[in-house]
Structure 1
Amino acid sequence: MAEPVLMLVLHDVAPQTWPDYRPFVEAVDALGTIPITWLVVPDFHRRNPLQAHPWFLDLLGERLARGDELVLHGYYHADDAPAPRTPRDWFMRRIYTHEGEFYALAEAEARRRLEQGMQLFAEQGWPLHGFVAPAWLMSVGTRQALRGSGLSYTSDPQRFYRLPDFAPITAPGLVWSARSAWRRGLSRLVCERQLRKHKAATLLRLGLHPVDMRHEFSRHYWLQLLQRLLAEGRRPVSKIEWLRQQSLVSQPA
C-alpha cells in the first residue's frame, strides 16, 4: 500500500494575513520539519502588492529554503468582473463568495493575470509549479489560459488537475467555514465525518484560511488535527513533492 501522507496548505497568504498565521506557523515549526504549501496572492484585494513589503518577500524566500512550496493563488483575490447577470452567477459571486476572482474572466484577462503572477515569482527567483483559483472557481477562459501557462497543476477541494490536459487526481481536502460560531461548530462536525470517510485515503489535504486563525476554537482544532494525523503515521509533504513522488509531474532539470 502507498505511504499515507498529509498536506498542510495555507490559503490567502499576503502581508495582510501574516499576523493571523504567524502564531500557528510558529507552533507548526515547533513540531519539527513539516513542509507547508503557501497559496500566495500577489496583490491581496488590490491593497497589498508583495513588492511593497520586502520583509515579506524575504520571509517567503526563507520558507522556500526550509522546504516549503509557494503556489500562485489568483492575483488580487477579489472579484472585480462586471456584475453577474444570471441567478446562478449572482449566487456564486454574491452569496457563495465575493472573492472568486477567476470565476468570470475571459481567457485574455485570465492569461494576463496569470502571467503577471508568474512574472512576480520569476523576479523573486521562486520556483512555481501550481495555481489555485480563489474559492477554487475558474471560468472556461481561465482553464484555457492554464492549458497554455506551462504550469504543472491546479486543484479544487477534492482533486488535483494535472496540466495541460486537466487530468484529475483524487486528493480529498478538509476545510472550515469559520466566520461565525455556528459555522465553526458545524465545520468541526463535517471535518470529523470527512476524516472517517477518507481514513484509508493515501492523501489528505488540510486547507486553512486566515479567518480560521482568528478563533481559538478553529485554530486549536487544526493544530490538534495535524498532530493527530502525524501520530497516526501520515508523512507531511508539499503538493509538488507528492506529485513528483507519484511521477505525475516531471522532476526538475
Structure 2
Amino acid sequence: MAEHPGNARSLMLVLHDVAPETWPDYQPFVQAIDELGSVPMTWLVVPDFHQRNPLARSPTFCHLLERRLARGDELALHGYYHADDGPPPRGLGEYFMRRCYTHEGEFYALDQAQALQRLEAGLAVFGRQGWPVAGFVAPAWLMSEGTRQALRQLPLRYTSTPQHLYRLPDFTAYSAPGLVWSARSGWRRGLSKMVSDWQCRRWRDAPTLRLGLHPVDMRHASSRNYWLNTLRRLLSEGREPLTKSTWLARQASP
C-alpha cells in the first residue's frame, strides 16, 4: 500500500447522491460550509438519480454545479441511476447485499460489458456539460469484478471504498479512512454517532480523514449538526480541506 508523504494532515468533505432532487437537502448545509471560508468539496453526481432526475432536464442545477467547479470544488461520477435495477438476487449472500444492506448497489452485480456501458454513458453526460471528471464512486461503494475491469479501460484516475482511494488503472491503494452515518431512523443516528466518535478517536493521528455525507443526514438536526461541528473541529486542528483529486495528486507514487 502506498504511503502518505510528509506529515501533512488533511480532510476530504464528500457529498454523496448529488442530484436535482437532493439539492434542497444539501443547500442550507453547503451555505453554512461556504460561510466557514474556502472549504473545497467533492460532489458525487448521479446522472439520472433513481431514473427520475436526468441532469439534461435540470439546466439550473447544472449551472449550479458549474459555479461549484469555479469555486474549486470537484465533481465525480457516482453511478448512473444510483438504483439496483438488475435481475433478482441469487443466493442469501447476494440477497442480503442487494435487498437488506442497500437497494442502491447499482454496480454490485454488473458484468464487465454492462458496467462499461453504464460508465461510458455517465462520462458522456459529464462530457456534454463540459465538466472535468477524474473519479468514479460506486453507489454504496459496491463494485463487481466486472466493474473493476471496466474501470481499467477508462480515462479515470481514481475510485474509492469506505477506507481507501485507489489510483486507476492499476488500483494502487491509499489509506483514506472515512466517517459515514446511517441516518434513516433515530436508533441508527444514535449508533452512527457512537461509532463515528470512536472512529475519530481511533484515527485522530491519521494523515487524512474523509467525511462522507448523504442527503438523509441533512434532514435531521443531530446528523447535520454532527457533520458541521466535526468539520469545524478538524479545521481548527489544522487539517487542510482538499478535494479527492487534489489529495490523490499529492500522494507519492509507489
Q: Output the TM-score relative to the length of structure 2.
A: 0.96
For 1:21 and 1:69, the matched residues in 2 are separated by 16
Percent of aligned positions that are identical: 65
For 1:100 and 1:212, the matched residues in 2 are separated by 19
Aligned to 1:223: 228
The secondary structure found in structure 2 opposite 1:193 is: helix
Aligned to 2:23: 18
For 1:182 and 1:202, the matched residues in 2 are separated by 31
Q: Output the TM-score relative to the length of structure 1.
A: 0.97
Amino acid at match of 1:100: G
Deviation digits for residues 72-97 of structure 1 (CA, Å, limit 9, x no counterpart) = 00000000000001110000000000
Equivalent in 225, 245, 248 of residue 250 of structure 2: 245
For 1:129 and 1:247, the matched residues in 2 are separated by 18
Residues 3-152 of structure 1: matches in 2 within 5 Å?
Answer: 3-152=8-157
Distance 1:54 1:169, change over 3 A: same
Amino acid at match of 2:233: R
The secondary structure found in structure 1 opposite 2:51 is: coil
Distance 1:167 1:146, change over 3 A: same
Q: Which runs of 5+ in 1 are unaligned?
A: none
Distance 1:120 1:247, change over 3 A: farther
In the alignment, is the contact (CA less than 8 A) between 1:162 and 1:248 conserved in 2?
Answer: no
Aligned to 2:165: 160
Of structures 1 and 2, the one with the larger relative CO (CA 8 A, separation 6+) is 2
TM superposition shift of 1:246: 2.0
TM superposition shift of 1:122: 1.1
Equivalent in 180, 186, 191 of residue 181 of structure 1: 186
For 2:41 and 2:148, the matched residues in 1 are separated by 26
Aligned to 1:170: 175
The secondary structure found in structure 2 opposite 1:45 is: helix
Amino acid at match of 1:220: N
For 2:245 and 2:22, the matched residues in 1 are separated by 24
Aligned length: 249
The secondary structure found in structure 1 opposite 2:42 is: strand
Q: Which runs of 5+ in 2 are unaligned?
A: 1-5
For 1:248 and 1:159, the matched residues in 2 are separated by 15
The secondary structure found in structure 2 opposite 1:151 is: coil
